[in-house]
Each structure stands twice: as C-alpha cells, then as structure tokens.
Amino acid sequence: MKISIAIPLYVKDSVGVQYLRDAFDTIEKQTLKDFEVVVSDHSKINDALDLCEEYSTKFRIKYIRNFYDRQLPHPGTVNSNVAMRNCEGEYIKILHCDDFFVDDSALEKTVKTLDETGKKWLACGFNHTMDGVNFFNSKTPHYPDHLLVGNNLLGAPTNITVRNDCQIDFDPNAMMSMDHEWYHRLRMKYGLPAFLNDVLVTSRIRDDRLSVQGASNYDIVVEGDDSSWQFISSELEYLQNKHADFFENWEYPND
C-alpha cells in the first residue's frame, strides 16, 4: 500500500462527527486510490464508529478505539502516535479530524514528490477555514531557524507526511509545542523535509482548539528571526532541558 491517512480523532458532539464526514468526503475524491485510512478514536461516544462503518464501503478504514492516557498533559499526542503506529502504507499522511483536503490530487502529488526527492518527510502548502466553505491565509511551508521556540511556518501536522519507516512519536509532555517540537526532531534526524508549495489541505479554526484555550497562559516572549512569539515559560524550560545540546549552538546538521 502506498500511503496511509492517519486520523487522530476526538469528538464529543454531532458537530465533530460532521467535521469527520467532511474529511471523509474529500478523501473519497482523491485521485490516488492506493491508500488506507487509520482512525484512532479517543472519544467517549460511538458516533464516529458508526460513521467509519458507513464509509468503509467506499474506502479502506482501520478503526482503533483508544481508551488510554486520558490524564496525560496532552492526550492527543498519544492518540496521534496510536494512529501512526497502526499505519501500513509506505507513507503516512496525518490529517486532524476537523481538517480536510482541498485538492483532489493531494495524495497523488504528495507521493510523487516523496518518490522523486527521496526525502523522509514532506510539508505541503495549506490554508484555513472557519466554515468549511470559505478559505483564507494560504501559506507555503518554510522551516525557519527558530521554529523550535514558536516560529512555526510549517503549520499543523495535517500538513505533514512521513515515511512509515522513519516516523517519530509526538512527545506527550509537550503542550503548545507538540507540533514544532516534533518537526525539530524530524529535522535533526532526517534533515529538511521536501517542500510542496501547492495548497493541499485546510486547517479548521475553532474556538475550542488548544491554542485558543491556552492563550491566556502565555507568560513569556521569545525573540528571533526578526519576529517574536508568545510562549509558556514552563514549556520553554522543558524544551531547553530536553534539547540542551541544540540550544548551545543553535545549529542543525547538514541537510
């Protein structure tokens, strides 16, 4: 199998299930058909299971019910790891459950780029939506020097694809930095990703997302790359301790 779509899922109401249906509808339209969908469901309700059974007649779905690790600082990281570990494709495309494809050839373009470049991971262009119909703030991916401390120009994990044999787990102790801390470790081990500037996916902006919920907890400003970012001092300290060698020289290995 060429590619797996890993969906870490948490839904608590009918709106969340509708978001997942939106994602499934865009998956069904993909021009590349050699794929599977792996859903790791951290929900306490069964609505997503019913939806997966409905769509299993349209494409291959592997459904995993993940009841564990609800008390971790960021249980969603573990749910993402469970989804990735159950993927069988050569490549793993992450898709958060409230995001979806905006290009019907997204999988085809992703696989072609990775096959041709030989890179271990890929970051694609993306945009944002609030209502699932109107799109804004299109971005091309870029890896700035200060990404580890907040200058995240790769966007959400929805924009990332990795080789299955090169996957690295998300850190369950990372909160606001879970995305860019993961990107940092991927770059340290495998170099820069392949950059595919085409906008392939959209990230849904929601009032209950973690970055909004935790915004009032920012208590430090980090300067770099001619910009500044709000950060949580305790989490910055965690990153500095975990990646002490990198913070000494601020140098990446040759890409």
Q: Per-residue pLDDT tens, the chain, 255 aa: give them.
A: 999 999 999 887 778 899 999 999 999 999 999 999 999 998 888 889 999 999 999 999 999 998 765 555 455 788 999 999 999 999 999 999 999 999 999 999 999 999 999 999 999 999 999 999 999 999 999 999 889 988 899 999 999 999 999 989 999 888 888 999 999 999 999 999 999 999 999 999 876 554 444 444 677 787 777 677 777 888 899 999 999 999 998 889 877
255 belongs to a structural domain: no
254 belongs to a structural domain: no
By C-alpha distance, which of 22, 19, 75 is closest to 44?
Answer: 75
Q: What is the CATH number of the domain that holds 210?
A: 3.90.550.10
By C-alpha distance, which of 78, 49, 45, 77 is closest to 64?
Answer: 49
Q: Which domain holds residue 64?
A: 3-249
110 belongs to a structural domain: yes
131 belongs to a structural domain: yes
Distance of alpha carbon 133 from alpha carbon 190, whole angstroms: 36
CB atoms < 10 A from the CB of 119, how many?
21
Q: How many domains does the chain have?
A: 1
